[in-house]
Homo-oligomer: A and B are copies of this chain.
Amino acid sequence: MSEFIKAMKFRHACKLFDDKRRISKKEIVAVLEAGRLSPSSFGLEPWHFLVIESAKVKKALEEAFFGQPQVATSSHLVILLSRKAKFFKQTSEYLDEAFGRIEKDIKAVESGKRELISFLENDLEADVTSWAKMQAYIAGANMMTAAAALGIDSCPLEGFNAKKLKAALAENIPEFDKKSYKIALAIAFGYRAGEQTDQIRWSLEKIVTFVK
């Protein structure tokens, strides 16, 4: 079995962490790096990661997560934010900066922006806010697998009340830029407390159709 599949099998939604074990700085940075290097639509990386180590802040967010024990027992709680729809406009300075990294010519930047906006308006079958969140899911998936490869457990947390969590973030984290970002998902990282349940999955035959 390859190292990668081993990591995929190690990974499970950890329901309770050992709250005495902390992830080292070096290892949490490696996990975040896997998120940073992830692909995104048009290479826009429309995300920001809040990495919460503070026990006090984790406690303050717990209620928005319906009291799930992963939040407070985790070593690091990462909130993956995604850019709001207003950033994906022809006049967006963020897009100027993003496209400007690839295209040096102002005309090429303007054309890249037009192509993106045309895609979002005419071809995409989702709203722009959800599309930006989808990009953050790519980063989140890679973070969890990267963590598993390091023997670090994780739990993806979509189960939160979005309004309550936003309010709690705004109240407890002065750096949280609520005017620019939506909450895409959260992931708790740490080390498992005790045995975990088995992985349950549909068979490959059930979920794959080969077209030869």
Q: List chain A positions with a Cβ less than 8 A from chain B.
A: 2-5, 7-9, 11-13, 29-30, 32-34, 36-39, 41, 43, 45, 47-54, 57, 101-102, 119, 122-127, 129-131, 133-135, 137-142, 144-146, 149-150, 156, 158-163, 173, 175-176, 182-183, 185, 199-202, 204, 207-212
Contacts and interface: CB of A to CB of B under 8 A. Distances in A.
A212 B142 contact: no
A75 to B, nearest CB: 12
A131 B39 CA distance: 19
A211 B145 contact: no
A12 B38 CA distance: 9
A211 B54 contact: yes
Nearest to A44: B202
A101 B33 contact: no
Copies of the chain in the assembly? 2
A209 B49 contact: yes
Contacts of A138: 137-138, 140-141, 156
Nearest to A39: B156
A36 B207 contact: yes
A53 B160 contact: no
A193 to B, nearest CB: 19
Given A142-B141, A210-B51, A5 B32 contact: no
A46 to B, nearest CB: 10
